[in-house]
Chain A
């Protein structure tokens, strides 16, 4: 039914020393999808995202990017196709917002090159798309957490990737910034300009915005598919150890999860 996935994990296992993070994992993301990976805190979502980005190599199994093993491609080549937005970006040096966003051009400019007007245009465009152009001349480390997150997304967009991987992108954002970010990502994905993968513990973010979802807990994929199929009370109870009720968003029909009470000994 569906065409070949743009990003795929097959039979992948990863562990830090003796601590197994996941085993024999399958995951696939289609072109233009806005995919949410939901899981509880400490489930290894960040590790999973880094494996998908090719930053960490799985102990077993493969990550494929456009059908080719990611480990066979030079890092610079991967960086032209995949951008990653980490949960936290700290900076001890006084780079301006514009300079930080321009660093997104690194894989296109190369180690010894100089940024051209074209690179600066990409950076400006990314600032405009994320609504941060008024911050361009400010120092990055003087921004609020929410502004900083938007600028990091701009930095990733300046990288002009085909796939954007985001780690808890809305965790430090207020409602307004959450809406801005999710609308931006949804827009880019529906135009087919981008495929986005978000890892988050925020179930409602995924039901409201994502077009595909994976429920990930205890190192396993509990279910994958359309968000409404993945977010069932039984599955969420299994993943998070919480009894939930599902309401329905009257405008979109999307499920809204309301947690009721913790289940003894449940969750991961």
Chain B
């Protein structure tokens, strides 16, 4: 019975995601004529409608699904692994590390490609994985991982990264500095499909594996000893999931910039709606993360005439108040 309810939610959210995605293809500052866009008798170079549809809006919406979904799944996994509702890519220092990596890549002007990825994403991914390992080791004392220490270490590390980013920004020339600021605000402003194609495999693989671990996540919420007693290989599960969720966060942030708070808001909202069973929660968070980011991004690119707001600004403005509300409504649970 429970399983059926979960499946209904996942199917429903999939339908919602497709509906929202298709609808938002036709919302924008330039009006779009679908008939003209699909008319193959017009030469591609002459067909501005096809260009807007296939080179601007479609990649953007697909990227929003991967980024929003990926950040939500990563946030949800971190919360399960650390048994704490405040654990997110942001509070764990992952986004700070990824940003520092990306800014460093811009400053050093390194240009090479690895597995189809350019330097900024590569540095972002390594920055995030390095940060998680560092924070994990810093907060681990005597075989235990006190969550409060972990979160404080993560937040502090984020501040440290911000300071170093400002320092690099100060040293950089104006062109680099502009690129850094634009990147740090977080944006889905892409042209063509290459970002989507680069991001798809890693988001797909990490999300699927994390969803397959959902039953272990459920048992882990009861504590390490109980999970061990139920046959879960706690150490291995936690290490694998940490690396996967960090790689997911890093590669997503590298493609879009640090779009914060999605990894916090979406899993929480879904947990309130669906309950804590990760078998439903993880796929539902992915779908809802996609819906949420498509909507935010559509708003960001249409609300200012002739201009465009970086979507990270919007998600941050929604997420900040939500985080405060969460802190207040759950304050009795957060024992420092």
Contacts and interface: CB of A to CB of B under 8 A. Distances in A.
Contacts of A112: 212, 215
Interface in A110-130: 111-114
A79 B218 CA distance: 16
B163 to A, nearest CB: 32
Interface string A117-148: 00000000000000000000000000000000
Contacts of A94: 271, 275-276
Residue among B85, B223, B228, B229 with the highest chain A CB neighbour number at 10 A: B229
Contacts of B221: 91-93, 95
Given A94-B275, A95-B276, A55 B225 contact: yes
Interface in A85-122: 86, 88-96, 99-100, 103-104, 106-107, 109, 111-114
A159 interface: yes
Interface in B206-227: 212-213, 215-216, 218-219, 221-223, 225-226
A78 interface: yes
B85 A92 contact: yes
B232 interface: yes
A10 interface: no
B230 A93 contact: no
Contacts of B80: 93
Interface in A53-83: 53, 55, 74-80, 82-83
Given A83-B229, A89-B222, A89-B226, A111 B215 contact: yes
B271 A55 contact: no
A108 B272 CA distance: 29
A91 B222 contact: yes
A152 to B, nearest CB: 8
Contacts of A228: none
Q: How large is the interface on B (under 10, 10 to 19, 20 to 34, 35 or more residues)?
A: 20 to 34
A106 B218 CA distance: 10
A107 B84 CA distance: 25
A107 B333 contact: no
Nearest to A56: B228
A79 B219 CA distance: 13
Contacts of B229: 53, 55, 79, 82-84, 86, 156
A264 B216 CA distance: 50
B interface SS class? loop
A50 interface: yes
Given A89-B222, A112-B212, A78 B271 contact: no
B230 A107 contact: yes
A96 B264 CA distance: 23
Contacts of B223: 86, 88-91
Contact of B231 (A16, A75, A90): A75
Contacts of B276: 93-95
B308 interface: no
B230 A79 contact: yes
Nearest to A49: B225
Contacts, number: 89
Given A94-B271, A95-B221, A86 B215 contact: no
B225 A106 contact: no
A interface SS class? mixed
A169 to B, nearest CB: 14
A213 B322 CA distance: 55
A159 B212 contact: no
A91 to B, nearest CB: 6
Residue among A16, A50, A111 with the highest chain B CB neighbour number at 10 A: A111
Contact of A159 (B213, B228, B230, B233): B230
A114 B230 CA distance: 16
Interface string A163-190: 0000000000000000000000000000
A95 B313 CA distance: 34
A113 B215 CA distance: 9
Interface in B45-92: 80, 83-85
A107 B215 CA distance: 11
Contacts of B232: 75, 106
B84 A92 contact: yes
A114 B3 contact: yes
A116 to B, nearest CB: 10
Nearest to A98: B2
Contacts of A113: 215
B264 to A, nearest CB: 15
B189 interface: no
A50 B228 CA distance: 10
Nearest to B276: A93
Contacts of A55: 225, 228-229
Interface of A: 16, 50, 53, 55, 74-80, 82-84, 86, 88-96, 99-100, 103-104, 106-107, 109, 111-114, 152, 155-156, 159
Interface of B: 2-3, 80, 83-85, 142, 212-213, 215-216, 218-219, 221-223, 225-226, 228-233, 271, 275-277, 333
9 contacts: A55-B225, A89-B223, A91-B223, A95-B218, A96-B275, A99-B275, A100-B222, A103-B222, A159-B230
